[in-house]
Structures are given as C-alpha cells and as structure tokens.
Amino acid sequence: MKDKYLILAINTGSTSTKVSAYENENAVFSASIKHSTEELNRFQSVWDQYDYRKNSVIGAVVNNGLKLNDFDIIACRGGNIKPVKGGIYEVTTKMLEDMKSGKYGIHPTNVGNLVAYDIGQENKIPVVTIDPPVTDELCDYARFSGIPQISRQSSFHALNQKATARKVAAKLQRAYEELNMIVVHMGGGISVGAHEKGLVIDVNNALDGDGPFSPERAGTLPNAALIKMCFSGEYDKTQMLKLMTGKGGLVAYLGTTDALEIEARIQNGDKYAEDVYMAMAYQVVKEIGSMAAVLGGKVDAIAFTGSLAYSKRLMDFIKPRVSFIAPIYEVPGENEMEALAAGALRYITGKEQPRIYE
C-alpha cells in the first residue's frame, strides 16, 4: 500500500465547475471555473454541457502542471439518484442510468458524475462519490407529514454535514458512530440534522426549502396562507416553486443573498435588514431545539458549518440560545472538496468499505 495518494475532486455546480487535487489530506491546487449565464444558455440540457464541463476539468488539471493519469482516484459530488444511506459509493453505469432518466431530478452534478466516470475509465482510475445529497437515514417517525399523500423526504447538505461531524468527533477523540450531534449547515440553503450514532435520523429538506428560511429559500411556511397564495391566480406553478427555492428567504425580503452586503446595511442602521437577518437566525435556533428533542436531549455536540458560519453577528445570536444543549463547535465554510478527498482517501486505504448501489 502506498503512503501517499493523489486525489482528484470534482464538483459541477449550477454556475461553476470546482476542481481540486489533494495529496492525501493536503491540497495541491484548487480551482473554481465560473460559467456565465450566456455560456450556459448555449446548452439545451445539463447533458449537453458534457464536453464543456469535461474540458473545464481537464484544463484545470493541465494548467496546474498535472496529468489525468497522475491520479490514483477521483471523487465527485453525488448526483440525483434514488435515496441511499450515507457512505462511499463507486460510480457505476446503473447510477448514471438513474441520473440520465431524470426521475430523481436534474442537476449539473449528474453530468459531473459522467465526466468523472469517463475520465476514470479512460485512465483506469476508480471513481467514487461520498454522502450524496439524497442520503436518507430518516427514522420512520420522521417520514410522516400529516397528510398520507405526502411523505417527508431527506435531501440536505449530507456531504458537508457528515464531514463536519467526523471532524468534531476527531476533536473529541471519539468515533462519529459513537456520538449524538446536531450539525447545522448555513449557506445558500440551511439544513439542521440530528446525527444519532452515525445516522442522520431527522433533517429538514433543505433542497425544497423546508426548515429555516435562508438566503434563497423560503423555509417552512404557514400552510393555509401558502395554499391561498397558490390559488390566488397571481402566480403559476413555476413561479411558486421558484419562490420556495431560489427567490425566497433573504433575497425576497432584502433583494440580495449577499450576507456581507446585508451586514453592511445593518451596520449603517438598517433596522429592517437586521430584523430579517436575525429572524433567519431565530428560525435556526428553533430547528436546533427541535433536533435536540429528537435526540432526547442526549447531545454530545452542536457543530456549525457553511459559509454563514463565518458571520459573527449570526453566531453571536445563535450560540447563547442553544449552548445549554451541548458544547458548540464551529467549522465554517463549504468544505465540500476537502470532504470528497477525505472520503476518497478512506476508500483507497481500505478504512471504509463502499456501499453497493442497487
């Protein structure tokens, strides 16, 4: 077994392609290639972006003085597949078929998985994905919504949440699977998960905008008022869905998703901006409290991650209101590329066995 492994991490987002190389846990380079709306509008579907995205990945590698066959393994962010337990999965043709079908959703991460798979095939490199966004470990009680026709779904920042939980566990010198934690990811969307002995037994569906409102998601809304709005005749289905995720939350109230801009407005005396910003934090506090109850009050740690965890103003509001539950740990930032590399390293060194995608 080698002492050092070169890992290629790929994350194709809506407006960027992120490419990083790691030697074990150490970053060799990190590139984020931005894609303008004009560039992306040339393509009819995400699958039409294949060559464009693949060239972005290859370009990033070559521009940093490496070759594709230098790598020992590739890790890509998970795509739209059927719900699975968290863990490491080898990217397979079955997985890609499910992504191409569109029945589980459409996102640029799907084409990123195909790019990673093909590069792996061409260079005889294993390709894995770690803790995909569709990670589903909900307990049975968490699936009930209150209406039989609607079942609660698990869709959240699983990759960063689980990576953050493992980091905190390491600080505590304990295994993730031994601990109960509440992990809070605060970014464009906000997810709050109850981690019980290595499983996320309850979490808000951040993809669809449930839970606390966030920079661009509406959060859980008053039911009757929402239904009346849907049937008011003022909005069609597409508009309503966009209000839930994309044009809800901070951007709906304040016209921006930029937390730094909002904090500058607050600093200059904008009381309304402050009320909205703190209301978001207030809803995060409530969600943390509910997850503490799910865990029966037996919580070893509360961990905060995501870009908004850098905000002292938000954290100063949240921490005093939840510190009675458990010790607080701050691991700010998205950390997705690092999490992909860490998972790939666990796989290639045999520390974690892959799950099988059926």
Please tell me the class of the 6-134+337-348 domain.
alpha beta
pLDDT, tens digit (0-9, with 9 covering 90-100), for 10-53 = 999 878 899 999 999 999 999 999 888 788 889 988 899 999 99
pTM over 0.85: yes
* Interval 103-128 mean pLDDT: 94
Token pair recorded at residue 276: 């909205």
pLDDT of the residue at 355: 94
Q: What is the pLDDT of residue 36?
A: 83
Q: Tell me, yes or no, if the two domains 6-134+337-348 and 140-326 fold the same way.
A: yes
pLDDT in tens, 45-79: 889 999 999 999 999 999 999 999 999 999 999 99
- The pLDDT, as a whole number, for residue 246 is 83
- The whole-number pLDDT of residue 13 equals 85
> For residue 258, what pLDDT band results from cuts at 50, 70 and 90?
very high
Higher pLDDT, 273 or 209: 273
The two beta strands, 16-23 and 88-90, are unpaired
Residue 209 has pLDDT above 80, yes or no: no
- The residues that bridge with 217 in the sheet, in sequence order, are 245
For the residues 246-260, what does the mean pLDDT come to?
93
**Is the model more confident about 197 or about 246?**
197
With a cut of 80, say whether residue 1 has pLDDT above it. no
Quote the pLDDT of residue 250.
Answer: 95
pLDDT (tens digit, 9 = 90+) per residue, 132-191?
A: 988 999 999 999 999 999 999 888 899 999 999 999 999 999 999 999 999 999 998 899
Give the chain's mean pLDDT: 94
pLDDT at 219: 94
Query: Could you read off the pLDDT of 337-348 as tens digits, one per residue?
Result: 999 999 999 999
Position 198 scores a pLDDT of: 96
Domain boundaries, given as residue ranges, for the chain: 6-134+337-348, 140-326
Alpha-carbon span 317 to 304, nearest angstrom: 13
Q: What pLDDT is attached to residue 334? A: 82
What's the pLDDT at 44?
87
Phi, psi of 121 (to 5 degrees): -65, -40
CATH architecture of 140-326: 2-Layer Sandwich (3.30)
Ranges 206-210, 219-223, 276-280: which has the least confidence: 206-210
